[in-house]
Structure 1
Amino acid sequence: MVKYKVNSDGKIDDEAVFQPLVYTAVYGSDVYYESLMIFLESIVKYGKYDGKIAIFSDRKKEEMAKYIPESVSDRVVIVAMDHKDYSQRYVSSSFAMEDFSPIIYFDNDIVFNSSVHPILQRVAQASGICVVTENESYPEMSSKRIADITDDRRIGNWWGLEIIRSDSNCSDKILPLANSGIIGWSDYCIFRAVGRLVFDLYHSKPNEGVAKWFGDQPFLNYALVRTGLVDYEALRNTCRFLGSTESFSGERRGLVHFNWARNEDKPRRMRAYMDYLILNKVNEP
């Protein structure tokens, strides 16, 4: 982000701003808060992150104390949730984000395994919304025009295929397969503009069925396709997706997202992976 101001000579000065913000949203059972604790441990230990962290939560600060590691407690801001659903990640509620750049949302079932700073730098310099895609896992969904996709496995709606295909402006585009668990915004202006679009789509009456079954991800993908405000390169090859059974690897892309693990398996697998990193003496190069 660049800030402009008029100097004492009556000319315009510009100043590059790098003041990153990481934020996440957590609500519901203790399982999600246990995942949050591991997420925070890893972003400090392996992510080497020393900036501000905003946590949108349905619990009060004193109730969350046991889930906030001491190593990060002085940089965490707890923000009361306005919306206890997936749409909270697209609005700032009472927390002022205007002065931060970049702004990155992470799901709290992510473990960092190397420095997050290269990611922060790339997002800050990006010209669009930075996302991680799942096209490696589903190449048949991202290798042809949206109008030509044959969704034999009926999985396309996880990325908004039907709603996107129903908009004639999108038929010649490619389905992003963006995962909404990691979203990078270069500054607050783009966060506010596109985030509000996704928020409004999620809460739109005609979209109730899609929101109920598939969450926010279809609407993020629709907004990316329709606006074209997307950068696929900044976060390419930074994340590996895991569930409850896959073996761990020494590969360090930066992020491991346990989005396929369910319920108690999430924090269990996250903790096991942290133990794996410690056992294998994984340190920042």
Structure 2
Amino acid sequence: MMLLREFLRRLPMYLISYNGEVIHNNGDNYYTKKINDLNYDDIINVDIDPVYQNMNKEDDYIFLKEQPEFYCNFENFGKVTGIYNKKTRAVSFKNNDGKYLCFEGNNLVFTRDEANLWESFCPIDEKFIKKLQYVILNKWISKRTGEIFDGKNITFCSDFIMKIGTFSIDIRSQHVADFEEYKFIGFCDTWKFEEFLLYNPLIYITAYSSKSVLNQLSLCVRALRNFADFDGRIIVMSNEDTTSIRSICSMDGDDNIDVDHMDPKDFVGYVCSKFSILGKDIYSGYQPVMYLDPDIIFNSDLNKMLQEATLTEDICAPLEDFHRVQTHVPVGAGLIQLDSLTPSPYAAGFNGGTIIFPNTDNTKVKEFLDAARRSITNIGEFFGRDFNLWADQEVINYLSIKNFNINTSCISKYAKYVDHNPSINENLTGFVHFWGHDSDKKSELMKIYFDKVEYIRYKLEKS
């Protein structure tokens, strides 16, 4: 039974029948509508006695309390008695003649002598309905199985069940607080605790000013669309406008590519602008949120990687297992030594060119991004703005050792690093990050590799 202390405090309350549909009335005509297709002007509402609003059904069950009857007022029938039915775990309504309310055909009538499933209802408020509608409008990953479920395929069926794939969630057991923006929990098969995570990925990329960097961006975005099967939203942090970026990326008709206009003045600004995503609506409501440097080409479907990262609910980045944080400056050794930290001599750093955040409302993400921005500022003021040659990567590796423990086990297996000949990467198993060269050389190597991937995929499709 829903926790009525939460659900029934708001008036009016609406009635869901046993088949998961909401009861409506238009004149003499009663009818039901699915959760995602309601006529709010016609929904029947019921005022619940405040005494019943304060009941906690879970506590009452645990402590074996008896439930009193309570009074409520129907918009259509006046004052009736409400009874919590322990058999159906829902509410039945009885009139002064002792008859129970039932929905029969197109009629809502007091005709039954007993209250069974058809004579039981779940009173819920508009807030709860909005939560269910949000679930239906989005895609979700099962924390248990890793399966993706499209909300539009969720169905409501008999016994107050919301069916998600093979999961049967009893809405009588749900609370409004179970449904959050990025996660919801469900009690399946009456008692099994399950979690479902929002899957609505966004990718953002930084690309400023130089022609070679914008060339890298073009190859990166085209690979995402053509090789990585990513059709979600892409945001480019740039001092270019949206029309220019879409043209540069050869994606003029792609309305899912937008620009977060930024105007940094130096290297520190370029590489650290990636941390300026909090409090911006364009990044809110997405999960996961992946940052990319433009010198990266995905060569295969990246959705599996995004899904794995989502399930961790961590901040994820690929390991540089050949660079030790105690000794390698680009992964934070200088800051770690200055702060007298003693990580394991075997501890490797991670690469800040690919970072996956759960979402921008996540507490850990907020703390991490805030700490990164403030650390970069404070270090720059104390030692000078050019103290960190790898400004962003040094700081975030230092912060990971210090406090945040970035997850490097999830996506590292997908990462390859190229500093010489891109032909060494024959297997299309993830992404390739081009480094170790100036910007123009990166663009050249990326173009060679892009053409190679295009050829390999063409040969695979033909075979």
Q: Does 1:238 align with 2:403?
A: no
Name the SS for the 1:237 alignment partner.
Answer: helix
Is 1:87 paired with 2:252? no
Q: Give the match for residue 342 of structure 2.
A: 171
C-alpha displacement of 1:184: 0.9
Unaligned runs of 5+ in 2: 1-5, 8-123, 129-174, 185-196
Residue among 74, 99, 117 paired with 2:285: 99
Aligned to 1:132: 318
Aligned pair partner of 2:296 in 110, 114, 124: 110
Amino acid at match of 2:342: S
Question: Aligned to 2:205, what secondary structure does the other structure show?
Answer: strand
Pairwise CA RMSD: 2.5
Rg bigger for which structure?
2
State the aligned residue count.
265
Equivalent residue for 2:444, pick from 258, 268, 271: 268
- Partner AA of 1:200 in structure 2: R
1:200 to 347, 350, 374: 374
The 8 Å contact of residues 44 and 71 in structure 1, kept in 2 or not, is answered as no
- Of stretches 8-17 and 108-117 in structure 1, the one that deviates more from structure 2 is 8-17
Aligned-partner Cα distance in 2 for 1:165–1:132: 23
* Runs (5+) with no aligned partner, structure 1: 1-5
1:143-222 mapped onto 2 (5 Å cutoff)? 146=326, 151=327, 156-168=328-340, 170-173=341-344, 175-188=347-360, 189=362, 190-204=364-378, 205-208=381-384, 211-222=387-398
Q: Which stretch has the larger CA shift, 184-193 or 209-218?
A: 209-218
Q: Does the 8 A contact of 1:110 with 1:255 survive in 2?
A: yes
Name the SS of the counterpart of 2:317 in structure 1: strand
Task: Give the drift of 1:34.
Answer: 0.7
CA distance in 2, matches of 1:91, 1:278: 34
- Could you tell me which residue of structure 2 aligns to residue 21 of structure 1? 202
Task: Flag the structure with higher strand content.
Answer: 2
- Please state if 1:36 is matched with 2:238: no
Q: TM-score, normalised by structure 1?
A: 0.84
C-alpha contact (below 8 Å) 2:418/2:435 kept by paired residues: yes
Q: CA deviation at 1:28?
A: 2.2
**Cα distance, 1:231 vs structure 2:** 1.0
- Does residue 67 of the first structure (1) align with residue 282 of the second (2)? no
Higher relative contact order (CA 8 A, sep 6+): 1
**1:232 Cα shift?**
1.4
Which deviations, in whole Å up to 9, do the C-alpha atoms of 1:151-190 show, x marking residues without a partner?
Answer: 4xxxx2111112112334x324564411110011112123
Could you tell me how far apart the structure 2 residues matched to 1:246 and 1:47 are? 18
Letter aligned with residue 130 of structure 1: C
Three-state SS of the structure 2 residue aligned to 1:216 is helix
- Quote the Cα distance in structure 2 between the aligned partners of 1:246 and 1:50: 26
CA distance in 1, matches of 2:200, 2:387: 33
